[in-house]
Amino acid sequence: MEHVPYIPFAGPLLQWPVARTETGLLAAFALLGGLTLIYALPDIRRGFLWAALIHVVGGILSLVAADLIMLLLGWELMTFSAFFIFTRERDADSLNSGLRYIVMHMGAAVLFFVGAAWQWQAAGSLAVTKVAPGAQLFFLGAILIKTAVMPLHFWLVDAYPRAGFAGSVLLAAYATKVGIFTAARLLNYLPGGVPVLSYIGALVAVAGAFAALRQCQARKLLAYHIVSQLGYMLAGVGLASASGAAAGLFHALNNVIYKSLLLMVAGVVCRQYGHEDLRRMGGAARRMPLTFCACLLAAAAIAGLPPMAGYASKELLKQALTPSLNLLLWLASLGNADPGGSLCVERSLARTACAGSTSLCPGGAVGRPVADPGGFVVVAGGAQTPGATGCPGRCHFSDGGDRDFQDGGPAAALASLA
Amino acid sequence: MNLLPVWLVLLPLFLALLTALAGGWKTGVRILLAGIGGAGYLTLSLIAADMVRRHGPLIYFVGGWGAPLGIGLRLDEFAVIFQVVLGLGLAATLAFILRGRGYVAAELPLLFLLTAAAAGMLLADDLFNLFVFVELASVCSVALIALRRRGPQVTAGFNYLVFTALSSMIFLLALMIIYGATGHLNMGYVAARIANMPPLLYTAAVAGIVTAFGTKIGLIPLHFWQPAAYAAAGCSRAGFLSGVVMKIHICALLRLLWYPLDVMAQAPALATILLVLGSVNVIAGHCLALAQNDLKRMLAFSSVAHVGYILMGVGAGTVAGMIAGLYHVVNHFMMKTALFWSSRAMLAHARSSDLRRLQGAATAAPAAFIGFFVAALAIVGAPPSGGFFSKWLIALAASEGRGLWPVLVIAAGTLISLAYYGRVFCYALRSSTQPAGVSGRGSVPPLLMAAGCLMAGLAGAWLLPWLERAAVALFTRTPPVVAVMLRLMSDS
């Protein structure tokens, strides 16, 4: 067929990830898909099951795609399955926010499409690799939408709290991390040597954390915090260096684990209380000690306390950032300031969980039964976390390509721990 | 001599006659007749496709009178694609109509007559017969549009009649110019002498043909009859008119331009003009569709936009572009029939064609909604559907050597179309207290079409060689030997 430039599904379509961090992310995706389905068991619906399965398949496909079209297919599978996860309630509000969501993401897909066409004209191939500089502009636009960078974050903050509890766990794990992964795979163009994407990411990391501070709704807070965490990852992958990409992806991998744990906890607690207002959740720690422990673990990880996974990846990020340019010192200082911010966020969650151990909350449905099947799954997920926190660290550390920035203490300490 | 081409026209003519005569008989007899007829016609089309694949073009001279005086019927590699679309479209439409609620008795004969006319348009090898079949198709379309004889339908049908009569006049004028300048009506003989035609007359003929067929396929600004007509025709008939008959007109237009008029050699600039016209159709059609609240009108404007995509592919002026355009023809046939047919059950639930009243339609008619959803994603251009790959191939072909703007046009169109199809999903998914009173009858054909949209993408590697052969045949068809000799004689 010498006249047909591109034949659908004809070339090499899939590739196994090479780097350890990527394999780890893949494993985390697969593991979390199963865990979420178990977590969703108490109130599962057939529609949700289908949407969740398609979402998981889309996520995994995006990681193993060898062809830009397959990558786009993964993105679109995730977009349209997420639409059904968001619009579970079938009321006008959630449907409108679902529509905003798919239009935004179709915008990303369309930019992707143009970028792919540019790449085709420039290189004559669609292999998933660093693309032509002009095409990177379009891919960058697509990734900025996909990863909810701050002026474009409204779809995420708007949509995640609308999904079911299990749905938001799934979305937090998959939907945006794929954007980070794509950025690490496709982008390496630094206009004038300045890592623009890193700056954007660092700014978003700070702004997202402070925006999260102002939230009182449990999942809204977590949604803002996802935005902030995505900023960290972008700051890493935006450096376009091997160490930066590895650190960003490592952070993404850790984030998949602890953020989904946090959302599972939030789901269990909110389901118990029947509302999402953190200010009226006094006594949660005493009523659900196991869940609380899991929450503490995840919160420690997200705040970057040693020896948790979040600490390791944030340290690696900072090490990857500092030596590159003088300007990046400023950026790294922002990065340093940010764990304080995330701690504040975590504190607000912890405070509401444990401080008000008196059951004085007016109107809070405190009298509801506390033991629930979901809690056990959370604990199971929580039990995964300390193990998983060590494991990716070790994987990462033994990844020979990234040796240069791993002579620092923290990572070694982590490795020795693991 | 192969009799198959003539049967492709005669069989639906007989069926039209039989079903018209059977008007007073029992419903069962009519259904049996139509069912056997539809299946038979599909089989005949597929046999024809197989024979063309194996032996090359099928040619039949009516009465044994050879060219240039006799009437030739010719089924070549290009037209056979459309013949298969026609066969599939007829069979699926019959299945949908006969399984549906009630249908008007005159519908079956009209449908068969329209099929006969469409087959004639694909097969005619001389200009005058082409004109006759185009006229026959127009008359049948008008009758189908105004079939239920309600006020707005009659108006829409009448409007269509007026504009189609105007376009026929222009078409006839163009044919007269060609006949006057070349002295022939047989396409091969015209092609042999077209190089000698005075440039002014040639331009006039091409412009006349593009205008005439532009009216039939909804080229902006000649599209205005279309939304009203499709809205009036009702979902089942609009699916056939937009999904199948419009494609047949595109085939006739392309065959005229490429073969007897030989635009690629005589006026290569026309390709770029088609590309620009197609881009205008894409953007304007999608924008107009976005502004609609009536679902059927919205789908009609979407058809206007998708004619634009096909013309963009064709306007690339290369074989690759023609293949992409043909791929989109096949895809759009399935997507648009699936959309029109699945919207019937949803609109029956809403008791109105206003898409803002669709709430609860997804729960009341789940099969219809699934069909609509899949077909809409395909038409918006989400992978792995055929709609995505044909847009992608069109983008690659049209942007070859022209920079990125055709890609940007296609991308913008995709985004706008998602906005209006997404609006339909949102209204249809909305929960409502209205009781579900829709029967699930007739949900299989649209679901099959929607599955076909997906398959067209997944099986693209199987479909594309076939389309490639068609496009190559269109680009490389040579005038008959006798005609070349005639040209040599007149040149000397």
A71 assigned to some structural domain: yes
A228 assigned to some structural domain: yes
Phi, psi of B186 (to 5 degrees): -65, 135
B250 assigned to some structural domain: no
Distances (CA, A) of B465 to A6, A125, B283, B323, B326: 12, 21, 30, 9, 12
**pLDDT for B309:** 96
B304 assigned to some structural domain: yes
Residue type, A203: L
**Quick one: closest CA in B to A8, which residue?**
B460
Phi, psi of B342 (to 5 degrees): -75, -25
A364 assigned to some structural domain: no
**pLDDT for A187:** 87
Q: Domain limits at B350? A: 268-458
**pLDDT for B252:** 95
What does the block give as tokens for B326? 């043909």
**What 3-state class would DSSP assign to B186?**
strand
**pLDDT for B492:** 58
Give the closest of B382, B404, B471 to A80, CB-based: B382
Mean pLDDT: which of A123-132, A207-216, B23-32 is highest?
A123-132
Tally of domains in chain A: 1
Distance CA A224, CA A150 (A): 10
**pLDDT for A332:** 43
| Chain B contact for A18 (CB, 8 A cutoff) | no
Chain A nearest CA to B465, separation (Å):
6
CB-CB under 8 Å, B430 with A91 = yes
B15 assigned to some structural domain: no
**What confidence tier does A343 reach under pLDDT thresholds 50, 70, 90?**
very low
**pLDDT for A403:** 30
Contact A293, A378 (CB under 8 A): no
**Quick one: closest CA in A to B408, which residue?**
A114
- Judged by CB atoms within 8 Å, which residues 233-292 of B form the interface with A? none
Contact B71, B129 (CB under 8 A): yes
CB-CB under 8 Å, A9 with B384 = yes
Least-confidence region, from A160-169, A408-417, B179-188, B269-278: A408-417
Residue A204 or residue B332, greater confidence:
B332
Sign of CA dihedral B329, B330, B335, B337: positive
B309 assigned to some structural domain: yes
A6 assigned to some structural domain: no
**pLDDT for A176:** 87
DSSP B447-462: HHHHHHHHHHHHTHHH
What does the block give as tokens for A28? 């985390």
**pLDDT for B278:** 95
Tally of domains in chain B: 1
| Chain A contact for B419 (CB, 8 A cutoff) | yes
Distance CA B310, CA B330 (A): 10
CB-CB under 8 Å, A111 with B423 = no
**What confidence tier does A164 reach under pLDDT thresholds 50, 70, 90?**
confident
Distance CA B230, CA B238 (A): 5
Mean pLDDT across the stretch A1-23? 81
Q: How far apart are the first and last CA of chain B?
A: 35
Chain A nearest CA to B195, separation (Å):
27
Q: What is the DSSP letter of B76?
A: -
Chain B nearest CA to A346, separation (Å):
36
Mean pLDDT across the stretch A196-216? 79
**pLDDT for B436:** 63
Contact A261, A297 (CB under 8 A): yes
Residue B92 belongs to what H/E stretch? helix B77-99
Contact B40, B4 (CB under 8 A): no
% of chain A beyond a pLDDT of 90: 11
> Bridge-partner residues for B58, per DSSP?
B75
CB-CB under 8 Å, B412 with A110 = yes
Q: Indicate left, alpha or beta for A304 from its phi (over 0: left) and psi (-120 to 50: alpha).
A: left
CB B6: neighbour CB atoms within 10 A?
Answer: 17
Residue type, B238: A
Chain A nearest CA to B390, separation (Å):
10
**What 3-state class would DSSP assign to A316?**
helix
Residues sharing a CB contact under 8 Å with residue B287, sequence separation 6 or more, in sequence order: B416
B445 assigned to some structural domain: yes
- pLDDT tens figures, A68-108: 999 999 999 999 999 888 887 788 888 888 888 899 999 99
Distance CA B361, CA B358 (A): 5
B331 assigned to some structural domain: yes
**pLDDT for B135:** 94
Average confidence (pLDDT) per 10 residues, chain B, 492 residues: 85 90 74 88 94 88 78 90 95 85 76 95 92 94 82 80 91 95 88 88 94 92 86 88 94 92 88 94 95 92 95 93 95 94 87 85 87 94 91 93 91 94 90 70 87 91 92 85 64 60
**pLDDT for A323:** 55
CB B393: neighbour CB atoms within 10 A?
Answer: 28
Distance of CA A325 to the CA centre of its chain: 27
Distance CA B54, CA B130 (A): 26
> Bridge-partner residues for A217, per DSSP?
A277
Distance CA A342, CA A260 (A): 16
Q: Crossing angle for the helix pair A326-350 and A196-213, nearest 10 degrees? A: 20
Mean pLDDT across the stretch A355-361? 34
B467 assigned to some structural domain: no
B22 assigned to some structural domain: no
Residues of A in contact with B383 (CB under 8 A): 69, 72-73, 76
Phi, psi of B68 (to 5 degrees): -85, -5
B239-262 b/e with 16+ CB inside 10 Å = b?
Answer: bbbbbbbbbbbbbbbbbbbbbbbb
Chain B nearest CA to A1, separation (Å):
6
A8 assigned to some structural domain: no
Would strands B72-75 and B58-61 be described as parallel, antiparallel, or unpaired? Answer: antiparallel
Q: Is the pLDDT score of A264 beyond 90?
A: no
CB-CB under 8 Å, B426 with A10 = no
Q: Domain limits at A196? A: 20-185+192-359+371-417
CB B233: neighbour CB atoms within 10 A?
Answer: 27
CB-CB under 8 Å, A103 with B430 = no
A75 assigned to some structural domain: yes
| Chain B contact for A82 (CB, 8 A cutoff) | no
CB-CB under 8 Å, B399 with A5 = no
